[in-house]
């Protein structure tokens, strides 16, 4: 079954996706009502409404609720929405005058914020009641895409003056894309690993898979930012600054809270050790560090990092990098070519097959593609990676690729006829017993292809087959017999 952590990550991504498009709408609606007052509903209030809506609806749906319960949830939603609208407007304007509420902009703001809060509550209810199935998550992503695309299109139609600062919309749009691109594969994996099959084990999101996914999604978003010609350096800087600024603040806090006290402790221990060895009162050889509060106030006042802190950070960084490399190398060495027991109880061995042969094949493949494109060869068929060969030797090479994929690669010392005999003997063509028509047809096609190739490759030019048609059709027969694509 799917683990609770897995479900939690899925739920977090769903919440992020919903909050992203709702916040974009909130920002634009708030801007339209009052460009200086900020979003109609602040992000934290949106988040609270989503979480509370999901929790209430989830709790109600889990218990055998009475018929009036959904009605009560709806009433609660309306009340919460009105409350959230009033609260948001109060926070935005610094106070509300209820006497003039109906005639002022604040009244409109309350109304818009309440409506948006109601939509948020409804989406929260959906999150709480619908399990994170692939269908549900895909639907949610599609809905979010349409909602944000519609909003952005509307903003574009209304003109530059109708939109808040670009960064306000870029962040939620990219957050929605990221949450969707991460959430859908998690749901797909959960579906494939058989969450509905009681007798199966779950596919844990393995390191390579997770790394690839995060790398590709992150890379895609970064490339999008860089690639977009319309994006100026300031805008990119703003986006990166928003992301990196938060990260830098967290790292800074960790350094101040952990690294500095740790460095004091180390210094004290060194001095203590020296005093014991020399049997005399401790004479600190290091320049004593200034008190922590002075360091902090200095750094805040000057805006520069104290040199001591910089040194400690550099040491920590280098030590961290070295440590990670050592751990990775040790791990790689320990796990090299060792069988491990997987969660389904089966022994598994993973190893790399990358080598000179792979590099050579890769180069040959790239060159082949280039040659074909230069020769103006027709584009590859969309439904198949099979290339229409042009000569008997190419057909045979295609056949070798096919058999290698099926686990019967040709040995270097094998002649084509020996190879064909081995394939027949090893029952590659064995389908429904040795007497089956499939097997007979397979052997006939194999013999036809091999003999045509032998004549073309080793026979005198006069005996060489005129065209590759029979060989190609034999290959197609073999392909149809040995592989089926869905």
Partner 1 sequence: MFGVGLLTLLGILLAFAALTGQTALFLFALALLGAAGLSRLWWRYCLARVEYRRRFSAHRLRFGDELTLEVEVVNRKVLPLSWLEVEDEIPRALPPARGRVFASLSPARDVLASLSAYRPFERVRRRYSFPGRARGEHVFGPVRLRSGDLFGFVTREETLELTESVVVYPRLLALSELGIPAREFSGDLRARSWLFEDPSRMAGAREYRPGDSLRRIHWPATARAGSLQSRVFEATTDRRIELALNLVTNEALWWSQIYDPDVLELTISTAATIADWALDAGYLVGLASNGMFRGNWESVGVQAARDPDQLERILLALGRLRPYAVRPFEEHLDELSRRLSFGTTLVVVTAALDDRVATAVRAAASRGHGVSIVYTGRNAPGASLPGYEVRRVGPPDLWREGLT
**Binding pattern for the stretch 376-405 against partner 1, x by CB under 8 A and - elsewhere:** ------x--x------------------xx
> b/e string for 278-295 if b means 16 or more Cβ within 10 A?
eeeeeeeeeeebeeeeeb
Residue 337 φ/ψ region, left for φ over 0, alpha for ψ in the -120 to 50 degree band, beta for the rest:
left
Q: Is residue 356 within the footprint of partner 1 (CB under 8 A)?
A: no
DSSP assignment string, 313-341 = HHHHHHHHHHHHHHHHHHHHHHTTT--EE
Minimum gap (Å) between residue 113 Cβ and partner 1: 22
**Residue closer to partner 1, measured from CB, 145 or 289:** 145
Minimum gap (Å) between residue 349 Cβ and partner 1: 5
- Distance, in Å, from the CA atom of 13 to the CA atom of 128, rounded to the nearest integer, reads 13
- Distance, in Å, from the CA atom of 49 to the CA atom of 85, rounded to the nearest integer, reads 11
Q: Is residue 434 within the footprint of partner 1 (CB under 8 A)?
A: yes
Options 122, 143, 264, 482; binder of partner 1; rule CB under 8 A: 482
Residue 362 CA, distance from chain mean position = 26
- Distance, in Å, from the CA atom of 325 to the CA atom of 319, rounded to the nearest integer, reads 10
Q: Is residue 187 within the footprint of partner 1 (CB under 8 A)?
A: yes
- Is the torsion defined by CA of 266, 270, 272, 273 positive or negative? positive
Options 227, 280, 293, 413; binder of partner 1; rule CB under 8 A: 227
Options 288, 345, 378, 461; binder of partner 1; rule CB under 8 A: 345
- Tokens in use for 477? 């027969």
Q: Which of residues 191-210 bind partner 1 (CB under 8 A)?
A: 192-194, 197, 199-201, 203, 206, 208-209
Contact 34, 92 (CB under 8 A): yes
Question: Interacting stretch for partner 1, rule CB under 8 A, among 71-79, 185-193, 282-290, 368-376?
Answer: 185-193
**Residue closer to partner 1, measured from CB, 63 or 412:** 412
Minimum gap (Å) between residue 367 Cβ and partner 1: 15
Q: Which of residues 436-465 bind partner 1 (CB under 8 A)?
A: 436, 438
- Distance, in Å, from the CA atom of 482 to the CA atom of 405, rounded to the nearest integer, reads 11
- Distance, in Å, from the CA atom of 274 to the CA atom of 261, rounded to the nearest integer, reads 20
Minimum gap (Å) between residue 244 Cβ and partner 1: 18
Minimum gap (Å) between residue 417 Cβ and partner 1: 23
- Is the torsion defined by CA of 233, 236, 239, 241 positive or negative? negative
Provide the 10 A C-beta neighbour count for residue 147. 19
**Residue closer to partner 1, measured from CB, 237 or 284:** 237
Minimum gap (Å) between residue 233 Cβ and partner 1: 13
Q: Which of residues 116-175 bind partner 1 (CB under 8 A)?
A: 134, 138, 141-142, 145, 148-149, 152-153, 155-156, 160, 163, 166, 169-170, 173-174
Closest C-alpha to 167, from 235, 240, 247 = 235
Options 242, 253, 362, 440; binder of partner 1; rule CB under 8 A: 362
**Residue closer to partner 1, measured from CB, 455 or 477:** 477
Minimum gap (Å) between residue 54 Cβ and partner 1: 23
Provide the 10 A C-beta neighbour count for residue 192. 12
Options 95, 307, 347, 413; binder of partner 1; rule CB under 8 A: 347
What burial class does residue 272 get, using C-beta atoms within 10 Å of its C-beta: 0-12 exposed, 13-18 middle, 19+ buried?
exposed
Q: Which of residues 38-97 bind partner 1 (CB under 8 A)?
A: none
Options 184, 259, 289, 454; binder of partner 1; rule CB under 8 A: 184
Options 433, 462, 463, 466; binder of partner 1; rule CB under 8 A: 433
């Amino acid at each position: 079954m799917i683990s609770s952590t897995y479900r939690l990550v899925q739920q977090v991504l769903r919440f992020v996706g919903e909050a992203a498009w709702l916040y974009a709408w909130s920002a634009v609606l708030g801007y339209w009502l009052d460009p200086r007052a900020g979003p109609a509903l602040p992000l934290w209030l949106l988040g609270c409404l989503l979480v509370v809506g999901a929790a209430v609806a989830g709790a109600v749906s889990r218990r055998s609720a009475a018929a009036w319960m959904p009605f009560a949830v709806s009433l609660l939603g309306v009340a919460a929405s009105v409350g959230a609208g009033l609260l948001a407007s109060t926070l935005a304007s610094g106070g509300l005058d209820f006497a003039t509420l109906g005639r002022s902009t604040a009244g409109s703001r309350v109304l818009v914020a309440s409506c948006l809060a109601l939509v948020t509550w409804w989406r929260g209810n959906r999150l709480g009641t619908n399990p994170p199935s692939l269908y549900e998550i895909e639907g949610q992503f599609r809905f979010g895409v349409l909602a944000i695309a519609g909003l952005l299109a509307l903003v574009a139609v209304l003109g530059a003056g109708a939109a808040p600062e670009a960064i306000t919309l870029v962040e939620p749009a990219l957050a929605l894309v990221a949450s969707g691109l991460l959430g859908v594969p998690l749901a797909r994996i959960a579906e494939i690993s058989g969450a509905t099959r009681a007798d199966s084990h779950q596919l844990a999101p393995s390191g390579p898979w997770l790394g690839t996914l995060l790398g590709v999604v992150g890379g895609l978003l970064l490339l999008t930012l860089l690639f977009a010609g319309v994006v100026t350096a300031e805008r990119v800087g703003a986006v990166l600054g928003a992301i990196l600024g938060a990260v830098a603040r967290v790292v800074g806090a960790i350094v101040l809270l952990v690294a500095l006290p740790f460095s004091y402790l180390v210094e004290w221990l060194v001095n203590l050790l020296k005093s014991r060895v020399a049997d005399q009162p401790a004479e600190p050889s290091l320049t004593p560090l200034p008190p922590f509060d002075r360091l902090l106030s200095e750094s805040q006042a000057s805006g520069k990092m104290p040199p001591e802190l910089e040194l400690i950070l550099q040491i920590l960084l280098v030590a961290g990098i070295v440590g990670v490399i050592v751990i990775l190398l040790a791990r790689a060495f320990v796990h090299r070519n060792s069988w491990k027991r997987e969660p389904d109880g089966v022994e598994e061995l993973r190893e790399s097959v990358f080598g000179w042969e792979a590099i050579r094949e890769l180069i040959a493949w790239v060159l082949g593609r280039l040659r074909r494109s230069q020769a103006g060869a027709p584009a590859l068929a969309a439904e198949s990676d099979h290339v229409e060969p042009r000569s008997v030797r190419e057909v045979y090479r295609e056949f070798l690729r096919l058999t290698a994929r099926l686990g019967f690669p040709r040995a270097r010392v094998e002649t084509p006829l020996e190879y064909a005999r081995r394939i027949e003997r090893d029952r590659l063509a064995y389908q429904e017993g040795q007497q089956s028509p499939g097997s007979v047809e397979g052997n006939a096609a194999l013999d036809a292809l091999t003999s045509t190739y032998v004549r073309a490759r080793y026979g005198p030019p006069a005996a060489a087959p005129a065209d590759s048609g029979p060989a190609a059709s034999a290959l197609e027969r073999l392909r149809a017999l040995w592989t089926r694509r869905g």
